Amino acid sequence: MRINPRHTQKGAVIILGGATILVLLILAFIIIFILEKGLPVVNLQFLSSKPRDLGRAGGIFPTIIGTIILPVVALLIATPLGVFTSVYLSEYTKETTLTKVIRFGTDCLAGIPSIIFGLFGYIFFVITLQMGWSILAGSLTLAVMVLPTIIRTSEEAIRAVPKVYREVSFSLGASGWQTVKKVILPNALPGIVTGVMLSIGRSIGETAAVIFTAGSSLRIPTTAFDSVRTMAVHFYILAREGISQENAYGTAATLIIAVLIINLTAYWLMNRFIARRG
């Protein structure tokens, strides 16, 4: 029996369109569910006061500090390392077996579960190097976790810069580094920024690698060797140990809003950047 192609065509549109709507509904549900239950809890008081009674009462101020400081330190370490490594690999080396092995290695490390980085950070930074549960150990762990992603995305962005731009720059008497600085990096910037933004998002939401390396202290840190608790970790502890569902929702709502703002900013920045270069 032959089905009329026009019917299958119609069926396909319905099924595929339905799948798209379903996925968007799931996304909307997750965000609305958390915001609806969480936003009533969130107010200035909640954001700016310390938690009391293990988080059962009070706000989440110290965890906001933790959520900002860990990714910032991690990215300050990982971004220059990652970008310069990708510059070296793509501009200063010839394509050899070694560079291919390095690329494959970073690809694999980019896909390694964060818990393995947590395990490594815990044994190496926290215990072997005696950093203890601390901002330093947590940031270093996050830095090595996002490093492969930054190397990968930067290298892709650099390779996407047309080869003729390099030729023109060299023909005008530029040195290798001048070409990198004036032509390659500015043109690869949107891609590099995307990689960095992705990494920030991943660090902010990360729990497994952070809880075992930065600990979960609720005090406001004063030195790099103090333990901190991020919002994601706070949320996990509140929800899993059943301490306070209300505050768990509030923390989750704050976390989601933060992540949305970062993503939208990144998206906006990139569009503006691309439009300006047009």
Partner 1 sequence: MKLVGEKGVRRILMTVAFSAISALLLITLFIINEGLPFIFRYGLKDFLLSSDWNPAAGKFGIFPMITASLWVTFGAMITGAPLGVAVAIFLSEYAPRPMMKVVKPTIELLAAIPSVVYGFIGVMVLAPFIRSYFGGPGLSLLAGSIILGIMILPTVISISIDSIMAVPRSYREGSLALGATTWQTIHMITIKASKSGIIASIILGLGRAVGETMAVIMVAGNSVNIPHSALDSVRTLTANIALEMSYATGMHRQALFATGVVLFVGIIILNSIASVALRKRTSKR
Partner 2 sequence: MSTKFNIHNFNFYFNGSPVLKDLNLDVTSNEILGVIGPAGSGKTTFLRSLNRMNELEAGIRTEGEILMDGQNIYDPEVDVAGLRKRVGMVFAMPVPLPMSIYENVVYGPRLSGISSKSRLDELVEKSLKEAFIWDEVRDRLKLSGLRLSGGQQQRLCLARVLAMKPEVILLDEPCSGLDPISTAKIEDALTVLKKEYTIILVTNNTKQAARVADKTAFFLMGEMIEVGLTRQIFTAPAKKETHDYITGRFG
Using CB under 8 A, which residues numbered 133 to 172 contact partner 1? 144, 147-148, 151
Amino acid in position 174: A
What is the C-alpha to C-alpha distance for residues 111 and 180, in angstroms, rounded to an integer? 29
The stretch among 39-47, 57-65, 100-108, 165-173 that binds partner 1 (CB under 8 A) is: 100-108
Report strand pairing: 57-58 vs 51-52. Answer: antiparallel
User: Which of 84, 129, 219, 241 touches partner 1 by CB under 8 A?
Assistant: 84
Backbone angles phi, psi at 116, to 5 degrees: -70, -40
User: Which of 119, 174, 259, 269 touches partner 2 by CB under 8 A?
Assistant: 174
Binds 94, which of partner 1, partner 2, none (CB < 5 to 8 A, cut-off by type)? Answer: partner 2
Give least dist CB 92 to partner 2, A: 13
What is the C-alpha to C-alpha distance for residues 218 and 226, in angstroms, rounded to an integer? 10
Give least dist CB 271 to partner 2, A: 16
9 interacts with partner 2 by CB under 8 A: no
Using CB under 8 A, which residues numbered 109 to 168 contact partner 2? 162, 164-168
What is the C-alpha to C-alpha distance for residues 241 and 196, in angstroms, rounded to an integer? 33
Which residue, 72, 94, 90, 100, is CA-closest to 153? 90
Give least dist CB 184 to partner 2, A: 11
What is the C-alpha to C-alpha distance for residues 215 and 138, in angstroms, rounded to an integer? 8
The stretch among 20-28, 40-48, 55-63, 153-161 that binds partner 1 (CB under 8 A) is: 20-28
Give least dist CB 277 to partner 2, A: 5
What is the C-alpha to C-alpha distance for residues 54 and 229, in angstroms, rounded to an integer? 12
Q: List Cβ neighbours of 252 (8 Å cut-off, separation of 6 or more).
A: 34, 38, 235
User: Which of 69, 183, 210, 248 touches partner 2 by CB under 8 A?
Assistant: 183
What is the C-alpha to C-alpha distance for residues 221 and 144, in angstroms, rounded to an integer? 22
Q: Which is nearer to partner 2, 93 or 265 (CB)?
A: 93
User: Which of 63, 153, 169, 213 touches partner 2 by CB under 8 A?
Assistant: 169
Binds 173, which of partner 2, partner 1, none (CB < 5 to 8 A, cut-off by type)? Answer: partner 2
The stretch among 11-19, 165-173, 182-190, 219-227 that binds partner 1 (CB under 8 A) is: 11-19
Q: List Cβ neighbours of 67 (8 Å cut-off, separation of 6 or more).
A: 204, 230, 231, 232, 255, 258
Residues near partner 2 (CB under 8 A) are: 94, 162, 164-175, 178, 182-183, 186-187, 277-278
